[in-house]
């Protein structure tokens, strides 16, 4: 089982210069390698479509070609960076192409603000005497606020405006003991960042999250009033980025707290499959910012449940808000109708409560069955920062 741990690190001035330089060397390598592969694939396209080969026969370049070439032709800057960190950068280029072939966007060149992390995939880092020792960079102060379980596989360093973080991705070798399922709940996640359980309980996100979001709107408006390319504008850009960071942290804390509560209280938790939901519901709604928060909550719940031998199930959200949870008949209502009022069986319920019950009922398994064990422990765990393409940020 995989688990990711993130800690803040406190580099001194000298180390920070080296970290920044490493980041920039990796970013240049990333962009150059990307350009090389783009060019080759465009030449291939040219040959395929028009049968012309203006600069000789093109070849397909893959990760190994680029890694081989790199090892024999390092620049002075690249020599200052651990070789596996450079290789990992090439791996990221490779992954962005693989993602593209799997239907994601075309790989993008990375600006200074976007490219914010580099990874030691195996070696070059060590935790000793309460410091994080990084090859070619130094021994950096770190506060290990929680114990690391399992063995550390990769180490990713990330810059977040003016702060630095390290993420360790660990492999934990403990047997997962499936618990017997006694308690179960369905969960409806609302647009207004409200969560409703099938017993009718609702959880509101904390008020300060709302306040930060208002603050963001305010600061963004300020940014738009600043003159292009002015010094003031740049300062304001940093202010906005910091509010973004605060919201991200608050949202993550909320997701951790809520998922912990859910997994402590329930053995089997049923959510709507948001990926399917986005296709079902209209685009305007799907773009809601709450989506980001919800997939994070679901992922956190999955990994905590996995750890505890419990189950998280995702069901198709079709008709969960329209059907009556009492009799199963369809009761059409648009978003403004907050109360489910069934003319067939007389059931009157809060709209989201009704949906949560439907979600629970859609679950494929019933309380007390044993065959569910087959799917336990197969859910994937937290996404380590280092394993996602760099252009996604988090």
Rounded to a whole number of angstroms, the minimum distance from the CB of residue 366 to Zn ion is 21
DSSP lists the bridge partners of residue 189 as 195
Residue ranges binding Zn ion (CB under 5 A): 324, 326-327, 342, 344-345, 347
Structural contact between residues 3 and 382, judged by C-beta atoms closer than 8 angstroms: yes
- Nearest to Zn ion of 354, 381 (CB atom): 354
Q: How far is the CB of 323 from Zn ion (least distance, A)?
A: 9
Task: Provide, rounded to whole angstroms, the least separation between the CB of residue 355 and Zn ion.
Answer: 14
CB of 346 to Zn ion, least distance (A): 7
Rounded CA separation 330/312 (Å): 27
| Between 249 and 330, CB nearer to Zn ion | 330
What sign does the dihedral 229-232-238-243 (CA atoms) show? Answer: negative
Nearest distance from C-beta of residue 348 to Zn ion, angstroms: 10
**Which residue's CB is nearer to Zn ion, number 105 or number 328?**
328
Phi, psi of 81 (to 5 degrees): -115, 140
DSSP H helices, the chain, are 13-50, 63-72, 76-79, 83-101, 207-225, 231-265, 274-280, 283-286, 290-308, 351-362
Tokens of 384: 């380590």
- Whether the CB-CB separation of 324 and 331 falls below 8 Å is answered with yes
| DSSP SS3 for 138 | strand
Query: Cβ closer to Zn ion: 140 or 357?
Result: 357
Is the Cβ of residue 138 or residue 326 nearer to Zn ion in the bound state?
A: 326
Q: How far, rounded to the nearest angstrom, does the alpha carbon of residue 347 sit from its chain's CA centroid?
A: 39
Least distance in Å: CB of 331 to Zn ion? 7
Question: Of 219 and 352, which CB lies nearer to Zn ion in the complex structure?
Answer: 352
Query: Tokens for 22?
Result: 């490493």
- Beta bridge partner(s), residue 139: 133
């Amino acid at each position: 089982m995989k688990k990711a741990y993130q800690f803040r690190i406190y580099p001194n001035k000298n180390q920070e210069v080296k970290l920044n330089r490493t980041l920039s060397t990796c970013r240049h390598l990333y962009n150059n390698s990307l350009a090389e592969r783009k060019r080759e694939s465009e030449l291939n396209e040219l040959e395929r479509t028009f049968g012309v080969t203006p600069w000789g026969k093109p070849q397909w370049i893959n990760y190994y070609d680029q890694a081989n070439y790199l090892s024999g032709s390092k620049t002075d800057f690249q020599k200052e960076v651990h070789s596996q960190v450079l290789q990992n950068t090439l791996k990221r280029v490779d992954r962005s192409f693989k993602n593209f072939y799997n239907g994601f966007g075309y790989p993008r060149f990375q600006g200074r603000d976007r490219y914010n992390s580099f990874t030691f995939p195996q070696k070059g880092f060590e935790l000793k005497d309460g410091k994080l020792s990084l090859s070619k960079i130094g021994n950096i102060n770190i506060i290990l606020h929680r114990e690391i379980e399992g063995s550390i596989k990769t180490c990713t360093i990330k810059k977040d405006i003016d702060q630095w973080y390290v993420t360790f991705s660990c492999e934990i070798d403990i047997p997962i003991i499936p618990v017997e399922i006694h308690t179960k709940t369905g969960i409806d996640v609302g647009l207004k960042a409200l969560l409703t359980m099938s017993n009718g309980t609702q959880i509101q996100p904390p008020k300060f999250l709302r306040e930060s979001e208002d603050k963001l709107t305010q600061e963004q408006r300020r940014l738009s009033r600043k003159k292009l390319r002015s010094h003031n504008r740049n300062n304001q850009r940093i202010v906005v980025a910091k509010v973004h960071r605060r919201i991200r942290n608050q949202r993550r804390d909320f997701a951790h707290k809520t998922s912990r509560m859910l997994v402590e209280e329930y053995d089997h938790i049923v959510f709507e499959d948001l990926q399917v939901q986005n296709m079902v519901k209209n685009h305007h709604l799907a773009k809601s910012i709450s989506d980001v928060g919800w997939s994070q909550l679901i992922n956190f719940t999955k990994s905590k449940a996995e750890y505890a031998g419990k189950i998280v199930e995702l069901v198709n959200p079709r008709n969960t808000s329209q059907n009556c949870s009492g009799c199963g008949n369809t009761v059409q209502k648009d978003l403004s109708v907050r109360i489910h009022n069934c003319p067939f069986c007389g059931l009157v319920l809060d709209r989201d409560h009704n949906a949560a019950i439907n979600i629970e009922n859609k679950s494929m398994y019933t309380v007390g069955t044993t065959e569910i064990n087959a799917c336990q422990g197969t859910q994937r765990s937290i996404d380590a920062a280092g394993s996602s393409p760099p252009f996604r940020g988090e």
